[in-house]
């Protein structure tokens, strides 16, 4: 199978050195395998995305020497595909509508807390999808999803240095740390988790290259891929680029923006050296 990977930024700010590391790592891995590097714009969170940032992504990546042989996939053009995946999970009886606010959930939960905040206590779990209204989010019924997979628990292969090897899904960890995860936010009608698995399959991605900050999200993606009958790619979670104090770079750290380094006279080769590539 031909190697295919992607870089999938959200246009919510200027790309910084952490993004450059991710894009260059993916590009280099594709090139070394005679494979294909693709670009996807993850712009489902419309209010936070700005066209100017998207234009700057193309400009920064081209400046770094990256090219992508297929048209850019924009998630805002793909909402029907995400709705179809959600409908499929609903038909399988694995989702329910949820009207709880963050405050409701905080009030109902004392523990435990997963990586994405408090694990949902299941207040709305008995509500049928037929009751779903426009103000509702849609959640995965984790217990039903695990029962659906039964003994056939899938896993994924990690090729990144920090956790290299085979990772079978761990039902206890999914229950304790993830629980009934939101698959469709009430404001945008979908979620990162649904969009990323639908698009990785659509783009026939064989290895997902992304930061270690998303390692905890990967079992959710593998679970959804398996429920939806989609292929499970390999995953390569790379180290995170931190600032001098060891803090992970965020998009608002303009000093580390690629554009700022360019304006200061850095060359693409300098950026590679700064990143240890
Ligand atoms: N859009 C995500 C981000 O900018 C990346 C998602 C992924 O690589 O799966 O952090």
pLDDT digits (tens, 9 = 90+) for 93-128: 999 999 999 888 888 876 556 666 789 999 999 999
Give the global pTM: 0.94
Q: CA 142 to CA 145: how far, in whole Å?
A: 5
The pLDDT of residue 118 is 80
**Is the distance from the beta carbon of residue 200 to the nearest atom of ligand 1 less than 6 Å?**
no
Per-residue pLDDT of the chain (277 residues; tens, 9 = 90+): 799 999 999 999 999 999 999 999 999 999 999 999 999 999 999 999 999 999 999 999 999 999 999 999 999 999 999 999 999 999 999 999 999 998 888 888 765 566 667 899 999 999 999 999 989 999 999 999 999 997 778 999 999 999 999 999 999 999 999 999 999 999 999 999 999 999 999 999 999 999 999 999 999 999 999 999 999 999 999 999 987 777 776 655 676 899 999 999 999 999 999 999 9
**Is the distance from the beta carbon of residue 36 to the nearest atom of ligand 1 less than 6 Å?**
no
Ligand 1 center from residue 42 Cα (angstroms): 7
Ligand 1 center from residue 210 Cα (angstroms): 7
Q: CA 206 to CA 2: how far, in whole Å?
A: 8
**Is the distance from the beta carbon of residue 195 to the nearest atom of ligand 1 less than 6 Å?**
no
Ligand 1 center from residue 128 Cα (angstroms): 32
Handedness of CA 160, 191, 54, 243 (dihedral sign): negative
Question: What CATH number is given for 78-202 in this structure?
Answer: 3.40.50.620
**Is the distance from the beta carbon of residue 256 to the nearest atom of ligand 1 less than 6 Å?**
no
Ligand 1 center from residue 138 Cα (angstroms): 21
The pLDDT of residue 242 is 82
Ligand 1 center from residue 110 Cα (angstroms): 30
Class of domain 1-77+242-277: alpha beta
**Is the distance from the beta carbon of residue 13 to the nearest atom of ligand 1 less than 6 Å?**
no
Residue 42 alpha carbon, nearest atom of ligand 1: 1
The pLDDT of residue 253 is 60
pLDDT digits (tens, 9 = 90+) for 122-136: 999 999 999 999 899
Query: Which of 6, 7, 9 to mutate for ligand 1's pocket (most ligand atoms within 8 Å of CB)?
Result: 9
Ligand 1 center from residue 8 Cα (angstroms): 5
Q: Where in the chain is the domain with CATH 3.40.50.620?
A: 1-77+242-277, 78-202
The pLDDT of residue 252 is 56
């Amino acid at each position: 199978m031909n190697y295919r990977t992607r870089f999938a930024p959200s246009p919510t700010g200027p790309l910084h050195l952490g993004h450059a590391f991710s894009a260059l790592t993916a590009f280099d891995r594709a090139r070394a395998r005679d494979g294909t590097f693709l670009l996807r714009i993850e712009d489902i969170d419309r209010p936070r995305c700005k066209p100017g940032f998207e234009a700057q992504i193309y400009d920064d990546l081209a400046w770094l020497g990256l090219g992508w042989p297929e048209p850019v996939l924009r998630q805002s053009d793909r909402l029907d595909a995400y709705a179809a995946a959600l409908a499929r999970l609903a038909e399988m009886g694995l989702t329910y509508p949820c009207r709880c606010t963050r405050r409701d959930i905080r009030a109902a939960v004392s523990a435990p807390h997963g990586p994405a905040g408090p694990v949902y206590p299941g207040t709305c779990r008995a509500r049928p999808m037929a009751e779903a209204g426009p103000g509702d989010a849609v959640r995965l019924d984790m217990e039903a999803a695990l029962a659906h997979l039964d003994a056939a628990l899938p896993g994924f292969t990690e090729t990144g240095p920090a956790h290299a090897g085979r990772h079978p899904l761990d039902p206890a960890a999914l229950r304790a740390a993830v629980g009934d995860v939101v698959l469709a936010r009430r404001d945008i009608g979908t979620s990162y988790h649904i969009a990323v698995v639908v698009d990785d399959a659509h783009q026939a991605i064989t290895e997902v290259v992304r930061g270690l900050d998303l390692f905890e999200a990967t079992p959710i993606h593998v679970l959804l891929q398996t429920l939806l009958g989609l292929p499970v790619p390999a995953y390569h979670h790379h180290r995170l680029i931190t600032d001098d104090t060891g803090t992970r770079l965020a998009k608002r750290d303009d000093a580390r923006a690629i554009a700022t380094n360019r304006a200061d006279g850095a060359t693409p080769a300098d950026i590679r050296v700064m990143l240890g590539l």
